[in-house]
Amino acid sequence: MPDQTMSVVWIGAGTGLTINRIRTATGASTILTDMLALTNADQLNTWEGNLTVNGSPSPVNAAYPGLQQIANLVFLCADGSTAQLRLVAPKLSIMLADGVTVDATMIATLIADCVGNLESPTGSLAVSFLSGRLNNV
């Protein structure tokens, strides 16, 4: 199967819209499902081939409600490059006590769905999770 790219338009409770792109080997549907369980934002539109309009999104107004707060998740790939996945408006429950560092045990399902599927810009597949950190854009 050729490489797949999913684009997701996210809407936050506080402000605006943002978009991110997920490049995978076999499709990003399971990764998106995992991300939705870990974010306060909601998907407005997704497309991986055809555009999908997702009715009436309902983002959560919680600790990180805005789309400016992003948990940047970094994965090591087989060729030594890295693949990054941006989780907008992450839930506070996935953070360590410092409120900045992602607790890998709280995103284990997402990590499992990314390993062997998420690709770096070089096309190399993710082999392990390296780190996750909250950033404000």
Q: What is the pLDDT of residues 123-134, one digit of tens each?
A: 999 999 999 999
Task: State the pLDDT at residue 1.
Answer: 47
Q: Determine the pLDDT at residue 106.
A: 97
User: What is the amino acid identity at position 76?
Assistant: L
d(CA 107, CA 43): 19
Q: What is the pLDDT of residues 7-27, one digit of tens each?
A: 999 998 877 889 998 989 889
Q: 100-113, pLDDT tens digit by residue?
A: 999 999 999 999 99
Residue-wise pLDDT for 69-125, tens only, equals 899 999 999 999 999 999 999 999 999 999 999 999 999 999 999 999 999 999 999
Question: What residues make up the domain containing 12?
Answer: 4-136
Category of 134 on φ-ψ map: left (φ > 0), alpha (ψ -120 to 50) or beta = beta
Written as six digits, the tokens of 123 are: 């096309």
- Number of independent structural domains in the chain: 1
CA distances from 9 to 19, 127, 131 (A): 4, 27, 24
Q: Judging by beta carbons within 10 Å of its beta carbon (0-12, 13-18, 19+), is residue 105 exposed, middle or buried?
A: exposed
Instruction: Confirm if 50 and 128 have CB atoms less than 8 A apart.
Output: no
Buried/exposed 112-136: b ≥16 CB within 10 Å, e otherwise: ebbbebbbbeeebbbeebeebebee
pLDDT, averaged across the chain = 90
